[in-house]
Amino acid sequence: MPLNLPNILTWIRILMIPLILGTYYLPDSWLSPAAKNLFGASLFVLAAITDWFDGYLARKWNQLSPFGAFLDPVADKLMVAAALILLVQLDRADAWLAAIIIGREITISALREWMAQLGATRSVAVSFVGKLKTTAQMIAITVLLLHENVIPGLPTQQLGSICLQIAAMLTLWSMGYYLRMAWPELNGRKTD
């Protein structure tokens, strides 16, 4: 495992997951519910920024590694899954939306692993729709973790719920895209 700043940022993102979750379980005497929401959402945003930043630095400094390529998406999926499960428990997100998003992440991870074994990873490389899906998920989760109406007249919980529904639709769309791209291999035909 190469020890470089991009990989360290990925490890930091993984280590932030229990901090984000733990924030919501602190006693109210330590942090008020509003402070928990603000602190937890802020930690999640910071973790999401490290996701972008570690990839940027790895490409810029030519520090791409097989280990980093493995760890980065694992960190992303752990962060999203943990946050969604927390939001369901806090009654801020519907379980069926969380199941769609987490189920897609598992399915596409398995598809990418299988395609790598076949030597066809290019057919399931990250696409624009995948990046759009990730952005929508990060926004939705952040807004739902925040939960507080920070802008008068803007119902944060409703906005977060709408964003999560959009993220789930993009999740299904991106899954369809990746499955369509992998279909020749899944169907037993070789691509040109």
Q: Residue 191's pLDDT is what?
A: 47
Contacts of 115 (CB under 8 A, 6+ apart): 121, 123, 124, 182, 185
- Any idea how long the chain is? 192
Q: Residue 37's pLDDT is what?
A: 95
Class of residue 15 by CB neighbours under 10 A (exposed 0-12, middle 13-18, buried 19+): exposed
Give the whole-angstrom CA distance, residue 22 versus residue 11. 18
Alpha helix segments (H runs only) across 90-155: 95-117, 128-146
Q: Where do the domains of the chain lie, and which CATH numbers do they carry?
A: 5-186 (1.20.120.1760)
Phi, psi angle pair for 183, to nearest 5°: -55, -45
Q: Residue 117's pLDDT is what?
A: 74
Digitized pLDDT (tens) for each residue of the chain, 192 residues in all: 678 888 899 999 999 999 999 999 999 999 999 999 999 999 999 999 998 888 888 888 888 887 787 888 899 999 999 999 999 999 999 999 999 999 999 988 888 777 777 766 665 556 688 788 889 999 999 999 999 877 778 888 999 999 999 999 999 998 888 888 888 777 775 544
Give the whole-angstrom CA distance, residue 81 versus residue 104. 11
Give the whole-angstrom CA distance, residue 49 versus residue 4. 17
pTM of the prediction? Answer: 0.87
